Amino acid sequence: MTLITPQPLDQEDEEMLVPNTEMLDRSLPVQGPVAFDGTPPVEAPQPMEVVSTAENQATEEPQASRFTWTIENFSRQTNKKLYSDVFVAGGHKWRVLIFPKGNNVDHLSMYLDVADSSTLPYGWSRYAQFSLAVVNQIHNMFTVKKDTQHQFHARESDWGFTSFMALSDLYDPSRGYLVNDTCIIEADVAVRKVIDYWSYDSKKETGYVGLKNQGATCYMNSLLQTLYHIPYFRKAVYHMPTTENDMPSGSIPLALQSLFYKLQYNETSVATKELTKSFGWDTYDSFMQHDVQELNRVLCEKLEDKMKGTVVEGTIQKLFEGHHMNYIECINVDFKSTRKESFYDLQLDVKGCRDVYASFDKYVEVERLEGDNKYHAEAHGLQDAKKGVLFIDFPPVLQLQLKRFEYDFTRDTMVKINDRYEFPLELDLDRENGKYLSPDADKSVRNLYTLHSVLVHSGGVHGGHYYAFIRPTLSDQWFKFDDERVTKEDTKRALEEQYGGEEELPQTNPGYNNAPFKFTKYSNAYMLVYIRENDKDKIICDVDEKDIAEHLRIRLKKEQEEKENKRRYKAQAHLYTIIKVARDANLLEQIGKDIYFDLVDHDKVHSFRIQKQTPFNQFKEEVAREFGVPVQFQRFWIWAKRQNHTYRPNRPLTALEESQSVGQLREVSSKNHNAELKLFLEIEIGPDLHPIPPPDKSKDDILLFFKLYDPEKEELRYVGRFFVKSSGKPSEIILKLNERAGFGPDEEIELYEEIKFEPCVMCERLDKRASFRTSQIEDGDIICFQKLPKADDKYRYPDVPSFLEYVKNRQIVHFRSLDRPKEDDFCLELSKLHTYDDVVERVAQYLNLDDPSKIRLTPHNCYSQQPKPHPIKYRVAEHLLDMLVHYNQVSDILYYEVLDIPLPELQCLKTLKVAFHHANKEEPVIHNIRLPKQSTVGDVLNEIKSKVTLSHPDAELRLLEVFYHKIYKIFPLTEKIENINDQYWTLRAEEIPEEEKNLGPQDRLIHVYHFTKEAAQNQMQVQNFGEPFFLIIHENETLADVKVRIQKKLQVPDEEFSKWKFAFLSLGRPDYLQDSDVVSNRFQRRDVYGAWEQYLGLEHSDTTPKRSFTANQNRHTYEKPVKIYN
């Protein structure tokens, strides 16, 4: 795919933690796009946290303050952005910046801004932890709050969330974020004072160097540093066979050897581009954040394969491979089944475990197979049994992957577990008489481990930042490897501060707000590496130059010299001028191939690097040596950029100018300090094909350049230049042009002046009878000519203007099926000026489809590399270019669908996905209902009636809005379907029970929901699940009576139902009921807003079948799998 401009920090449907891009005119690395999963932000989604490099350099406790901003008449705000009043936190001035209609996205955009940044002294910076929130004024638990941390400075004086929350949720008055058209925003800000590290030298301070981040490769950097600091592993990599003919970009072993060598001997941070190229990754892969655990497995598997048949074969297994035994043992009969399996790393549960030992206890926990879950023991049949895992042996290097990311079935999304989780400096896996070991384990091996590395993930489920704490020699000194920077750290920093949990910060003005200011610690350990005490001398071994192949040492020293030369070149750049010299040969080579407009691409002509004080006449001698053209035969023209944005030779240099220095002459051509000097070298060739002196040029002489167009071949080429008299006429040069073109002397030709090509092509016929002066022809102008078109010619582009128009607007478009958005199906050459109808007609023609109106196109998001969420409406996009533009980039990809009905007809229809719950069947059936947009809910229900079998012919239906297992709305039959949203909410159709149609005066229709209680952030939270329903309760009816009806309705067996608890819940707090309690007393007597928050709760375990979730459940939801291709 071709991208026209660099990638900015901007997204359509992703959440990204970024500076406000309006204030930023440079491209920043993106940590990874976030896939929109359709879940509205009612659970306070985690931010994608980009951690400041100074994050761990705090010198004192942070000071926290809270600011509340109440914005009235919010929906009537017309300004694109709004600033809050200035407030003070930590002794500094701040303000909140919001974009009420989104910063080029369909989300509220919100940032924290340094209020006085324009008046602060040069080099200022400050570091803050902060949270931003939009308060839910109906129910605080639905407040959307996101927190992060950042180091603010002149180039990033604001920081926050471009996609804070969906505008559709914010502006929906029923959601509670706008009440009386008032929005309340809260900002909690804690300021840390930091050490300035602008001039920090990692090698000098620590003896180690970091790795450069390519955009989103911090996850890879932390893993590579960990592997590099296992010397036995590094030595094995050095001993992998490579040759001087290998290229690092095509050889993983050589690229890794090169990287490790540079980490060992470089003075500054090391780039990883060669390594990622050897993986077969392109730039996009480097901007896509992956899971470090997955990369570790894939990389080790690849190295294990590359080591086969070499002197280091088996190294990966020797270091990382352990074995465990899965067993099932019958309780009542003598039968046992075992299976031995190997592992390179262990995945340990974090949720519900306080430390590593608790995770190991859970790992080997015995499961009882009994009741309905008995084990089939071959000849013994179904038996009660014990099932579990025990370890046969542990590896010398033990890699523990902590399951910080888990799939939450109730929320139907991935979540990050930020709970506190402790890990020891010394890990004893022989504890309690070897409780983790199988009977077959070798008890003579002492499984005592010492902590070597702690890999940390800072951020949320949708991405963030990785870094590592490592003890390279297992001494007491820890080092933090954070991309390019390496710092010394103490044990507390490496261990305790990476446990996770919550951090409470002191309030500076407790009288203003007494609530404790708590931050969830999004930075926490994600992977641990332990080294066995008995093996540490072998693993932490010496690695020196003799371990490195000679060809590698030579190659890398040569690279170092080249790098030094480049550095020196750059340092001396201010002493030199780059002179680019274009000649006829360049025009002949480029026009009609590389370029069509103007005369030359200056990046592809010969350039000279000349000291600024060098006299220009001395430079001409350099040109004579390079081109073989004696000084006296050289005439140089200076180029000029015209007002119409074309770039043409303007005039010859004067004798006075040629007597000046190169530096002085450059200043004449451009005031830009770093500008290059661009010249055109005019050389006249005599009959003997040798250079001759250039002709004298009077004021009446004009230098013109000529291009010939052949409409049959659709070819444009350069045919030379010559002088004409401004008083002369084009008709006088026809003979000469025919000779240049190879035409007969009497051939009739048309002449055109190529005037400009930006923003549109201007190429006009030249009057042959008018003088050049009359036609305003001047030095450097371009004349295009062709044979006079004949009436019977059938060419696509019969003349020069139509051909140049075609060249300017032609666009190769890659079409992909919307079902297979990663694969190109076919390519078509189109014009950017093609109308919507032109484009779909060409696509239909390619697909052999009779009706182009059945083609629906969807544009491409250049940043996420995915289809945009909304297709292109019929004939809304005027031209192809409108379909391809994504903010300030132009894509070359479109996605297509073939519809079953024409798109104009479909656009008049509304499609709703409705789940029909039959009165007598458990499983709902999904129906896609397609009706005109002006239809009502009643029409939808009538359509469903025609598709389903009802319990009786006169049954009435209703349509409900269900979200997170709660009923939020019963749709009136007259409500129009046009504005009903089935993307976030579930639409449920069901029969109305007969008893509900005949409510008595004291009867109440209440909500009944299933729930469980779960521990989260050290407190119990109610989690709803299952299918909610309505129930009639009668006056004075006790819970005992109600339970009988609920059990009958849900058909729950007595044994299971006896375990259920019943509670009245209001705003998420359960009040448990006794059988004798009168249920109707607990419920409001009239409908109130938020009725779904007062319900009868059925507390029991969730036994509904979970949807399957594939093996990548520890990978972030937005990622594609890690692949190493070579």
Catalytic residue ranges: 218, 465
Q: Which of 107, 112, 137 is nearest to 45 (CA)?
A: 107
Contacts of 668 (CB under 8 A, 6+ apart): 638, 657, 660
Contacts of 163 (CB under 8 A, 6+ apart): 11, 13, 14, 15, 16, 34, 105, 107, 109
Q: Contact at 8 Å (CB) between 604 and 586?
A: yes
**CA 1029, CA 1039: separation in Å to the nearest integer?**
17
- Give kind and range of the element (H or E) at residue 749: strand 749-756
**Strand 893-898 to 810-817 pairing:** parallel
**CA 1109, CA 1104: separation in Å to the nearest integer?**
15
**CA 831, CA 807: separation in Å to the nearest integer?**
9
Q: Contact at 8 Å (CB) between 737 and 706?
A: yes
User: What value, to the nearest 5°, has the Cα angle with vertex 538 and ends 532 and 543?
Assistant: 130
Tokens representing 241 are: 């066979």
Tokens representing 1029 are: 């329903």
- Give kind and range of the element (H or E) at residue 917: strand 909-917
Task: Fill in the amino acid letter for 288.
Answer: M
Q: Is the dihedral of CA 555, 557, 558, 564 positive or negative?
A: positive
Q: Contact at 8 Å (CB) between 1019 and 1006?
A: no
Distances (CA, A) of 317 to 303, 304, 312, 396, 601: 11, 8, 11, 10, 55
Other CB atoms within a 10 A radius of the CB of residue 567 amount to 10
Q: Contact at 8 Å (CB) between 220 and 465?
A: no
**CA 1067, CA 615: separation in Å to the nearest integer?**
85
Tokens representing 165 are: 């929350």
Q: Which of 680, 859, 673, 657 is nearest to 780 (CA)?
A: 680
- Give kind and range of the element (H or E) at residue 304: helix 292-307
**CA 393, CA 377: separation in Å to the nearest integer?**
27
First to last CA, the chain: 22
Other CB atoms within a 10 A radius of the CB of residue 540 amount to 18
**CA 1103, CA 443: separation in Å to the nearest integer?**
42
Q: Is the dihedral of CA 975, 980, 984, 989 positive or negative?
A: positive
User: Is residue 515 packed enough to be buried (19+ CB in 10 Å), middle (13-18) or exposed (0-12)?
Assistant: exposed
Q: Contact at 8 Å (CB) between 350 and 421?
A: yes
953 preceded by a cis bond (ω within 30 of 0): no
Other CB atoms within a 10 A radius of the CB of residue 35 amount to 16
**CA 15, CA 163: separation in Å to the nearest integer?**
5
Distances (CA, A) of 758 to 587, 761, 762, 765: 20, 6, 8, 18
Tokens representing 963 are: 């979200």
Q: Contact at 8 Å (CB) between 327 and 338?
A: yes
Tokens representing 1075 are: 């059988």
Q: Contact at 8 Å (CB) between 90 and 147?
A: no
Place of tokens 């033990």: 398
